[in-house]
Amino acid sequence: MHPQSWKISLLSAACGVLLAPVAAQVPAAEPPGSADLHARIDQLADVVEPEVIANRRYLHQHPELSNREFETEKFLVKQLKALGYEVQSGIAHTGVVAVLRGGKPGPVVALRSDMDALPVAEEVDLPFKSTVRSTYDGKDVGVMHACGHDAHMGVLLGVAHIFAQLKDQLPGTVKLIFQPAEEGTPKGEQGGAELMVKEGVLTADPKPEVIFGLHVLTKFETGQLAYRAGAIWASADDFTVVVHGKQTHGAMPWNGIDPIVIAAQIVMGLQTITSRQMDLTKAPVVVTVGKFDAGVRNNIIPDTATLKGTLRALDETMRQQLHDDVQRTATNIAAASGATVDVDIGSESAYPVTYNDPKLTARMLPTLKRVGGDGLLETAPLMGAEDFSFFQQKIPGLYVFIGVRKPGASQDEYAPNHSPRFKVDETGLKLAVRTLANLTVDYMSGAAAGAGAGGLQ
């Protein structure tokens, strides 16, 4: 079904408050013409809102897993070419890059949306509910945009439409990056932002100076725009600990080396890394064991036991310390009982801290205040993770959160991202469109920077 066939019901959204709102300040002086661009963006955001919602619904009903976004890629390419963009596809397997060169000289600004869905069977009863099934890790699974990447793509297509209308007035070049595999790649494959960077998405002409991105979250109410300078998402590293013992009869444990007991001791020992070895006054860290696998029978002590988990940090130095401490703790606990261990960290996922460049954040804060109004919040960092961080390691980046929980509704009604009951209050998407469009034109024009167009001051 073509996305334009959806009937769209537009609702008004009130702005709520979850965290302390940002105090109102007198906005910085705007370069000539900026006010006209802002007004046009707001007008066009109203015009494209039905299209944003329709595209989001189409993509929601047709989700695809990481590195398998083949039909999503075709859909994006068709839309972007129709808008007059220079389009490249097949980047990092299924990624799409679209370029629009404005009618006036100025810097290159990149905007990013992720594309992939999750192996989750949808439980929300919607007319555009996903019924797609696929194979994940050898298992038949449902597929759902349970993290909101369908909304991100719909928003960035809406921004693309706005800039196509404003091309002659744009003081610079827009580079749109639609990135696959944000949720992680299948075993044995490369992908995501890391591979896009390796393939030159940030260095190929036109080369962007900065990059902006966002994420819809039901943590925040519709109408809320949350930002933070510095670390906003944590790093994320998977880890696996395999304990090698000695198999024996469960009735005679002294004849073997019990890897289950040792692995249990390692689980408890890992918790002391957070509570006793890390300086939590600097930043929080998390060590979680999510899987414990050992044995096949009640009266057999097995040869091995396997632990799998995740490490999270908001500081790259503390992240490395976590790696070292997990290795040392697991190795020494095992050695104390005569066992050995294999410790692997980051082989399946290794995302750096998502870190908003402080100078860029400060420069764009007047824009966020103007666009967000009373709904602008300075948020605490979150322990989730995002491979947008790979882009930010190469060029300054700013990443923000957009609320999509109906004002006054609980998270029982609007479940968190990654839940089979996750849903989006679509009236929040226009704010996302306005945010990305205004950040782009204000950076290009030098608004709030005290300087002309160009690099950070």
Instruction: List the catalytic residues.
Output: 351, 426
Residue carrying structure tokens 């040392």? 328
Distance CA 184, CA 186 (A): 7
CB count within 10 Å of CB 286 equals 15
How does strand 285-294 pair with strand 225-227?
unpaired
Distance CA 243, CA 159 (A): 51
Q: Is the dihedral of CA 386, 232, 323, 245 positive or negative?
A: negative
Peptide bond into 105 cis (omega under 30): no
Q: Reading across the β-sheet that carries 225-227, which strands appear in turn?
A: 86-91, 95-101, 173-179, 108-114, 210-221, 397-405, 225-227, 376-378
Enumerate the H helices of 128-258 as residue ranges.
Answer: 149-165, 192-198
- Measured between alpha carbons, how far is residue 56 from residues 188, 227, 429 in Å? 30, 24, 10
**In 3D, which of 158, 149, 165 has the Cα closest to residue 94?**
149
Q: Quote helix, strand, coil % in the chain, to nearest 5.
A: 35, 25, 40
**In 3D, which of 239, 235, 225, 214 has the Cα closest to residue 393?**
235
